[in-house]
Amino acid sequence: MTNEKHHRKIIMFLLLLSMMSILVACGKGSSKENESGTSNTAWEKIQENGELVVATSGTLYPASYHDSESKELTGYEVEIMRELGKRLDLKIRFVEMGLDGMLTSLNSNEVDLAVNDIEITPEREEKFAFSEPYKYSFGTAIVRKSDHSGIESLEDLKGKKAAGAATSVYMQVGRDYGAEEVIYDNVTNDVYLRDVEIGRTDVILNDYYLQKLALEAFPEFEIMIHPDIKYHPNVQAIIMKKNNDELLKHVNDGLAEMHADGTISELAKTFFGGEDVSIKQDYDFE
């Protein structure tokens, strides 16, 4: 009888070990599934809420701005997002903020996506995910008409006051060439432009198409795009938190449809004075 009890104890012990092993294995499998399924969870949450929360500035003409008459938010990237929302059967809720706050808000899950003429860079790709591009451009410099603000090349930026956002790629170009940063949070184009005219700042380094349209909107300012400074060919896209793979797939599928049926091309021409910025061009840069 003692031996029988002993054998039963051994059998129970072995069964217990076996069950514990199974539970541990299941636990590990669940952990891996959660880790790899982060993107799926994000997409499922978006579907449950029925909306995409999108950060944008509302002050960057013609990418994201308020119509002067209706006061409604519009712009090239704003309308791309609205069309994308229709195709994904999701509402789009815009949250307006400066560029510096957008990247922070993505990481803290306050917003799902951000659009604001945001350039794809290797540094940003290490921390964030980007959609397929919808804009191709290059950098130029707004200076005073009277004397080009004393700038004839990028090397002349040293000691000059460059206006912009701290985390923009163009401000980094200014830093690289020794410019003095003058940081703005989320102001409208007329503030940037007027400050160059009156000498509070010397130069605005930014996207060619944005600068061209900004000058057309404010012809009263004695400023211009420098005729000889062209640099930094670049592409812009929707930015989101890294590893949101399923969200990225749906966004890219929607953009692919919009490229194929000409929707993005038409929006580009509408907001960029007939120029199709969605097509990659061959530029001649030194």
At residue 6, does pLDDT exceed 50?
Answer: yes
Angle at which helices 263-271 and 245-260 pack, to 10 degrees? 80
- Interatomic CA distance for residues 214 and 159, integer angstroms: 25
Mean pLDDT of the chain, nearest integer: 87
Both tokens assigned to 120: 């794809």
At residue 4, does pLDDT exceed 60?
Answer: no
At residue 116, does pLDDT exceed 60?
Answer: yes
Range of lowest pLDDT (28-32, 144-148, 151-155, 265-269):
28-32
Q: Tell me the average pLDDT across 63-88.
A: 96
- Interatomic CA distance for residues 110 and 53, integer angstroms: 8
At residue 229, does pLDDT exceed 60?
Answer: yes
pLDDT at res. 99: 85
Q: What digits encode the pLDDT tens for the residues 11-24? A: 554 544 444 444 44
pLDDT at res. 9: 55
> Which residues make up the CATH 3.40.190.10 domain(s) of the chain?
39-134+237-271, 136-234
Whole-model pTM: value is 0.72
Within 46-173, strands assigned E span: 51-56, 59-60, 64-66, 73-74, 91-96, 113-114, 128-130, 135-144, 161-164
Integer angstrom CA distances of residue 54 from 104, 181, 195, 240, 246: 13, 28, 30, 10, 17
Range of lowest pLDDT (12-16, 103-107, 119-123, 273-277):
12-16
pLDDT band of residue 77 (cuts 50, 70, 90) is very high
- Interatomic CA distance for residues 43 and 65, integer angstroms: 28
> Before 62, cis peptide (omega within 30)?
yes
Q: What digits encode the pLDDT tens for the residues 165-214? A: 888 889 999 999 999 999 987 788 899 999 999 999 999 999 899 899 88
Question: What's the distance, CA 59 to chain centroid?
Answer: 15
CA-based R_g, the chain, Å: 26
Range of lowest pLDDT (5-19, 74-88, 133-147, 258-272):
5-19
Q: Could you say which architecture CATH assigns to the domain 136-234?
A: 3-Layer(aba) Sandwich (3.40)
Angle at CA 92, nearest 5°, toward 119 and 112? 50
Superfamily of chain region 39-134+237-271: Periplasmic binding protein-like II (3.40.190.10)
Q: What digits encode the pLDDT tens for the residues 36-50? A: 444 457 899 999 999
- Interatomic CA distance for residues 282 and 49, integer angstroms: 42
Angle at CA 109, nearest 5°, toward 106 and 113? 45
Judge contact between 214 and 117, C-beta under 8 A.
no
Strand order in the sheet with 113-114: 91-96, 51-56, 113-114, 239-241, 128-130
